[in-house]
Amino acid sequence: MKKAIQILTFKTFLFYRNQLEKIAKAIKNAFPEYCETIYCKSSGTLPNTGTDYFLLGNRAEVVAKENDILFSVNWVEGQKTGFFLDQRENRKLLSEFSKGKKVLNTFCYTGGFSIYAMSAGAKLVTSVDISQKAVDLATSNMELNFPNANHKAVADDVFNFMKEHMQQYDVIILDPPAFAKSIKNKHTATQAYKRLNIAGLKTLAPNGILFTFSCSQVIDDVLFYNTVAAAAIETGRNIRVLHKLEQGLDHPTNIYHPEGHYLKGLVLFVE
């Protein structure tokens, strides 16, 4: 039985790879002047098949430009694609609130929000992530754009860091990884989002701005909004919603798959 499953998995993988090669060829034909490398990153889709591999070229890293800001992107070693393109418009919006402000970017990863804040003239930007590798990457990307920036990169648990810096930041970004990857984790994730937003609201200085997000598919817009509202009630602060955010237009949602609208966000003014 085990051997039969292995043969079936192998045949499925061959079919899967054949289809991917056709897709890669179509992409190359559509963008012949720009497409140099296509990398398949789908480990875990098919067990024991080693499905991360190059379909075209062999380049693993590049410096990309987004709204005139540079980022080093490694799609082989980085998380998912190595750079979260779905937050592009939200990073740009952050620029409108950052001039002269002390900005805290939690779960910073590549430092996207941090660098946009600095590009808008932030007084101080602090990037926090529990991963030292992520913090180093955020530092590298900041130096790529602003070598002399007033930027602090800290490898620490986000909750611990915010607990030690109450009301010290004018703008805070809460952009955590998905707390719920399946429906069975929905309740636990909801409680985690509530605790995170309570911590963020307590760390925010008076008349501050909070950007808060969820990328969990099973947490819909209404549940996320209500969870943030519950956090607001617990802190007792007067809060107004300035913007409701979502993924970029190049990440459209199929009407028959509402879970595809995975990225939800709010911009809050906190008195």
Q: Where are the alpha helices (DSSP H) in the chain?
A: 2-30, 88-94, 112-119, 132-145, 158-163, 186-203, 221-235
pLDDT-based confidence at residue 184 (cuts at 50, 70, 90) = confident
- Mean of the per-residue pLDDT values of the chain: 89
CA–CA separation, 127 vs 226, rounded Å?
Answer: 27
Provide the whole-model pTM. Answer: 0.88
Residue 75 pLDDT exceeds 60:
yes
Main-chain phi, psi angles of 250, to 5 degrees: -85, 10
Kindly indicate the confidence band of residue 81, based on its pLDDT and cuts at 50, 70 and 90. Answer: confident
Q: Are 139 and 151 in contact (CB under 8 A)?
A: yes
Catalytic residue among 35, 40, 108, 215: 215
Is 236 or 8 the better-scoring residue by pLDDT?
A: 236
Are 108 and 138 in contact by the 8 Å Cβ rule? The answer is yes
Rounded Cα gap, residues 128 and 109, in angstroms: 8
pLDDT surpasses 60 at 50: no
Give the chain's end-to-end CA distance (angstroms, integer).
Answer: 64
- Confidence check: pLDDT of 5 > 60: no
What average pLDDT does range 67-82 have in this prediction? 89
CATH value of 62-270 in 3.40.50.150, 3.30.1280.10, 3.40.1280.10, 3.40.50.1820: 3.40.50.150
Domain boundaries for CATH 3.40.50.150 within the chain: 62-270
Whether residue 215 lies in the annotated active site:
yes
CB atoms within 10 A of CB 64: 13
Asked if residue 10 has pLDDT above 60, the reply is no
For residue 210, give both structure tokens. 């909070």
Q: Which residue has the higher pLDDT, 29 or 181?
A: 29
The pLDDT value recorded for residue 242 is 98
Q: In this predicted structure, what is the pLDDT of residue 6?
A: 47
213's CB contacts (< 8 A; 6+ apart) are: 87, 90, 173, 174, 175, 176, 245, 263, 264, 265
Percent of the chain residues past pLDDT 90, beyond the cut: 66
Buried b (16+ CB within 10 A) or exposed e, 131-140: eeebbebbbe
Q: Which of 270, 268, 248 is nearest to 260 (CA)?
A: 248
